[in-house]
């Protein structure tokens, strides 16, 4: 291990990849496996898969070149940019798949380069990356999930390089990648905290650290201000994310549903009409046998269904404004729903913990497949906008399988649950054994992996909704770092055993020297 460490420390990452014969050969095999898998996959799934209605919202925003939308605009801008070169869904999904795999391999070989796990661990992780069915299905989805996963892998790998071997080029790339991630998914809101931790660990000067983080902050801040300005022009309110307001009231409704009618507290006058609509709805849907959707906890149904009070109240507010489009109506309600949602959660904190946080924590532990359970959301067609965008001959999309169920992903909730438990156990062992004493550099990996696992769990459980496509990045990261921690634990136990054996032999030799007759 010492000799290997010396070799790795003397070569650049580029030379480590391409001038090391073993690594170069493995990369060629991985490339071949990736291409063959994609070709086979597209034979069975010739069309892209869609989330109804999310995918079509992305396409419509790309077609109209919108600057704000019900989802962050980054993926729609990507679709529009990619359409300049090619408009087929085949090439789009191919690009998304290659981007995921290349970024995942970049992340994996960054781990190998700096932390040098044993070869068996390298092989296991390489197979997990190169033959992962989740990557195929995410890349085939017209959604921001695949692109965000790729950006997240790249961002995290860049942070590890910045910790151990910082360069100006890496610092610039980090700022660009985290900025793009911020335009794609709200989950990136926790990324600056982790970036700051990585810069803190790096041996750069304070001035350079501040410059690197400052550059990233300027890019992110510019996008935030631009988005707020666009929403102010549209609705009259400065806001970055109307989505957060809708999400808060949605979460509050899953809390409020379990408050007995006799225990409901009066609400401020501004909320009375909307609150009455919610109470009437809950009172009329108590029988979960007649209304099975009401048995579901910690979901997003309340904020998207047209039959729910949120959208009905939105339409009532704008009934005298026929000129208002759906985006304006949706965005205008964001501030109102944000205040209402926070108010309800503060009034019933224990209900919120029991009926939203706890069920959501269970979903985070073993995330549901959600829209990855069935191809094309178990539907046979797409909208006219999607047909035109990709140049389909008709609105029908299908696969070569009779069933639309995606059986290859059914193991993921079990894997996620098991990995979360093992990760916790490994972290406890690391701190109990004072692992930083055995491998100083590895402590940075532990801090980074543990931080992203903890912060993502807090964000998802507390404010978002848990599903496999949202949790793809933390699941892969957690799996990789769990493998590293297990490998470290095995090596430490071997070292301790070896030291005990050595000490035993030294003690025996000492006794033999001092008392040769007794030993005979």
Domain spans, the chain? 242-365, 406-509
Q: Are 238 and 198 contacting, i.e. CB atoms less than 8 angstroms apart? A: no
CA distance 108 to 122: 9
What is the model's pLDDT at position 516?
53
484-505 burial, b for 16+ CB within 10 Å, e for fewer? bbbbbbeebeeeeeeeeeeeee
Per-residue pLDDT tens for 259-315? 999 999 999 999 999 999 999 999 999 998 899 989 989 999 999 999 999 999 999
What is the model's pLDDT at position 137?
97
Is the pLDDT score of 4 beyond 50? no
Q: In terms of pLDDT, which residue wins out, 7 or 315?
A: 315
| Residue of 236, 251, 170 whose CA lies nearest to 463 | 251
Is the pLDDT score of 520 beyond 90? no
Q: In terms of pLDDT, which residue wins out, 321 or 105?
A: 105
What is the model's pLDDT at position 506?
60
Q: Are 92 and 80 contacting, i.e. CB atoms less than 8 angstroms apart? A: no
Q: In terms of pLDDT, which residue wins out, 275 or 434?
A: 275
Mean pLDDT score of the chain, rounded to an integer?
92
**Token pair of 269 as six digits:** 């006058």
| Residue of 447, 429, 432 whose CA lies nearest to 486 | 429
Per-residue pLDDT tens for 303-319? 999 999 999 999 999 99
Residue 120: partners with Cβ closer than 8 Å, 6 or more residues away: none
What is the model's pLDDT at position 491?
84
Share of the chain above pLDDT 90, in %: 84
Q: What's the Cα-to-Cα distance from 119 to each of 1, 82, 83, 209, 487, rounded to whole Å?
A: 11, 39, 42, 34, 10
| Residue of 206, 201, 209, 205 whose CA lies nearest to 436 | 201
Q: Is 114 helix (H, G, I), strand (E, B) or coil?
A: helix
Is the pLDDT score of 3 beyond 50? no
Count of alpha carbons within 13 angstroms of residue 132, beta-carbon side: 25
Number of residues in the chain: 520
The strand pairing partners of 381, in sequence order, are 396
Which of the four pLDDT bands, split at 50, 70 and 90, describes residue 6?
very low
Is the pLDDT score of 254 beyond 60? yes
CA distance 490 to 117: 11
What is the model's pLDDT at position 511?
52
Per-residue pLDDT tens for 451-494? 999 999 999 999 888 999 999 999 999 999 999 999 988 888 88
CA distance 198 to 95: 30
Residue 252: partners with Cβ closer than 8 Å, 6 or more residues away: 340, 341, 342, 343, 344, 345, 352
What is the model's pLDDT at position 406?
93
Q: How many other CB atoms are there within 10 angstroms of residue 282's CB atom?
A: 18
What is the model's pLDDT at position 2?
39
Count of alpha carbons within 13 angstroms of residue 409, beta-carbon side: 23
CA distance 200 to 194: 10
CA distance 279 to 153: 44
- Burial grade of 508 (CB within 10 A; 0-12, 13-18, 19 or more): exposed
CA distance 326 to 330: 6
| Residue of 184, 322, 178, 326 whose CA lies nearest to 246 | 326
Q: Are 124 and 455 contacting, i.e. CB atoms less than 8 angstroms apart? A: no
Q: How many other CB atoms are there within 10 angstroms of residue 451's CB atom?
A: 15
What is the model's pLDDT at position 5?
43
Residue 372: partners with Cβ closer than 8 Å, 6 or more residues away: 134, 137, 138, 141, 406, 409, 467, 468, 469
**Token pair of 513 as six digits:** 């020297």
The long-range contacts involving 114-118, CB below 8 angstroms and separated by at least 24 positions, are 114/8, 114/160, 114/164, 114/441, 114/445, 115/441, 115/442, 115/445, 115/484, 116/1, 116/4, 116/5, 116/8, 117/483, 117/484, 117/487, 118/487, 118/491
Q: What is the DSSP letter of 355?
A: I
What is the model's pLDDT at position 185?
96
Is the pLDDT score of 59 beyond 80? yes
Stated pTM of the model? 0.92
Averaged pLDDT, 346-356: 96
SS3 for 198-217 is HHHHCCCCHHHHHHHHHHHH
Structure-derived torsion over alpha carbons of residues 99, 403, 470, 134, reported in degrees to the nearest 10 = -40
Q: How many other CB atoms are there within 10 angstroms of residue 347's CB atom?
A: 17
**Token pair of 65 as six digits:** 């070149």
Is the pLDDT score of 112 beyond 80? yes
- Mutual orientation of helices 442-463 and 89-115 as an angle, nearest 10°? 140
**Token pair of 433 as six digits:** 């054994």
Instruction: Mark out the alpha helices in 298-357 (DSSP H runs).
Output: 301-304, 309-317, 326-332, 334-347, 349-352
Is the pLDDT score of 345 beyond 60? yes
What is the model's pLDDT at position 487?
92
Per-residue pLDDT tens for 212-245? 999 999 999 999 999 999 999 999 999 999 999 9
CA distance 364 to 461: 7
Is the pLDDT score of 504 beyond 80? no
Is the pLDDT score of 30 beyond 80? yes
């Amino acid at each position: 291990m010492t000799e290997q460490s010396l070799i790795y420390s003397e070569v650049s990452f580029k030379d480590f990849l391409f001038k090391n014969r073993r690594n170069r050969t493995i990369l060629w095999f991985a490339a071949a496996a990736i291409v063959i898998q994609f070709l086979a996959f597209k034979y069975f799934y010739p069309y892209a898969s869609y989330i109804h209605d999310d995918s079509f919202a992305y396409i419509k925003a790309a077609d109209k070149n919108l600057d704000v939308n019900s989802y962050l605009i980054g993926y729609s801008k990507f679709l529009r940019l990619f359409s300049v070169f090619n408009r087929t869904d085949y090439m789009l999904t191919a690009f998304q798949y290659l981007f995921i795999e290349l970024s995942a391999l970049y992340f994996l070989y960054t781990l190998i380069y700096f932390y040098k796990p044993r070869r068996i661990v390298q092989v296991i992780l390489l197979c997990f990356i190169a033959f992962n069915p989740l990557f195929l299905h995410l890349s085939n989805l017209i959604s921001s999930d695949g692109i965000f996963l790729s950006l997240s892998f790249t961002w995290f790998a860049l942070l590890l390089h910045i910790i151990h071997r910082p360069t100006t080029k890496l610092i610039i790339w980090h700022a660009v990648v985290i900025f793009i991630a911020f335009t794609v998914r709200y989950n990136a809101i926790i990324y600056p905290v982790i970036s700051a931790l990585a810069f803190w660990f790096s041996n750069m000067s304070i001035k350079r650290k501040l410059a690197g983080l400052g550059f990233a902050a300027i890019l992110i801040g510019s996008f935030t201000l631009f988005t707020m300005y666009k929403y102010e022009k549209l609705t009259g309110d400065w806001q970055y994310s109307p989505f957060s307001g809708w999400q808060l009231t949605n979460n509050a409704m899953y809390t409020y549903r379990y408050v007995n009618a006799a225990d409901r507290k009066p609400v401020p006058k501004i909320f009375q009409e909307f609150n009455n609509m919610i109470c009437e709805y809950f009172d009329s849907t108590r029988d979960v046998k007649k209304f099975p959707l009401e048995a579901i906890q910690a979901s997003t149904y309340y904020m998207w269904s047209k039959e729910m009070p949120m959208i009905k109240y939105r339409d009532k507010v704008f009934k005298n404004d026929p000129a208002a489009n759906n985006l304006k109506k949706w965005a205008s309600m964001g501030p109102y729903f944000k205040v209402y949602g926070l108010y309800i959660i503060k009034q019933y904190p224990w209900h919120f913990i029991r009926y939203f946080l706890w069920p959501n924590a269970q979903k985070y532990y073993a995330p549901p497949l959600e829209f990855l359970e069935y191809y094309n959301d178990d539907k046979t067609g797409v909208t006219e906008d999607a047909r035109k965008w990709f140049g389909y001959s008709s609105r029908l999309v299908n696969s070569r399988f009779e069933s639309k169920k995606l059986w290859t992903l059914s193991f993921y909730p079990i894997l996620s649950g098991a990995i979360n438990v093992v990760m916790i156990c490994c972290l406890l062992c690391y701190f109990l054994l004072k692992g930083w004493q055995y491998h100083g550099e590895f402590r940075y990996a532990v801090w980074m992996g543990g931080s992203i696992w903890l912060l993502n769990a807090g964000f998802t459980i507390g404010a978002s909704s848990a599903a496999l496509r949202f949790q793809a990045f933390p699941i892969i990261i957690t799996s990789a770092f769990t493998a590293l921690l297990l490998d470290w634990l095995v090596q430490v136990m071997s070292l301790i055993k070896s030291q005990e054996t050595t000490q035993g032999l030294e003690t025996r030799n000492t006794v033999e020297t001092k008392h040769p007759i007794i030993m005979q």
